[in-house]
Amino acid sequence: MMKKHGMLNSSITKVLADLGHTDWLVIADAGLPVPKGVPKIDLALTPGTPSFKSVVKAVCDDMVIEKVIAAEEVKDGNPDQLAFLNEQFPNLIAFVPHEDFKKMIEKAKAVIRTGEMTAYSNCILQAGVFF
């Protein structure tokens, strides 16, 4: 390992480096189905580890994000994650029905699976540019 800081997971680092403007990266709870053909980076170790929040924060440290998509159902089904998303991404979140969300991830460059075990702890991060 030659990196001094930042993302240490080589699979995530590779995906982040390969993202283009408007490409999608999904951060998912342990139960979200990953469509066939979409690469899955499985970080899940035990129930709850790593958490959705910790993975989102780590990815956000290395990624320019211009938009976030989450399931509409998070509003009633997981107010804690909704508050986290609103704090992390003020004015960047669009909401879609969960069934639509699951179809949308077919277009993602990758899905990062966490150990999160709470409902609707998923988001699509849309890549922005830093220039």
Does the annotation list 121 as a binding residue? yes
pLDDT digits (tens, 9 = 90+) for 114-127: 999 999 999 999 99
Q: What domains appear along the chain, each with residue ranges and CATH number? A: 10-127 (3.40.1650.10)
Q: Which residue has the higher pLDDT, 23 or 5?
A: 23
* Share above pLDDT 90 across residues of the chain, in percent, rounded to a whole number: 94
Does the annotation list 42 as a binding residue? no
Does the annotation list 122 as a binding residue? yes
**Residues 14, 21, 103, 107: which is the catalytic one?**
21
The model's pTM? 0.95
Residue 37 has pLDDT above 60, yes or no: yes
pLDDT digits (tens, 9 = 90+) for 40-58: 999 999 999 999 999 999 9
pLDDT digits (tens, 9 = 90+) for 80-113: 999 999 999 999 999 999 999 999 999 999 999 9
Q: Is residue 5 among the annotated active site residues?
A: no
- Within a 13 Å sphere around the CA of 101, how many CA atoms are in the beta-carbon half? 25
φ/ψ region of 62 (left if φ > 0, alpha if ψ in -120 to 50, else beta) reads alpha
- 65-71 sheet: strands from edge to edge: 40-42, 110-113, 24-28, 123-127, 65-71, 93-96
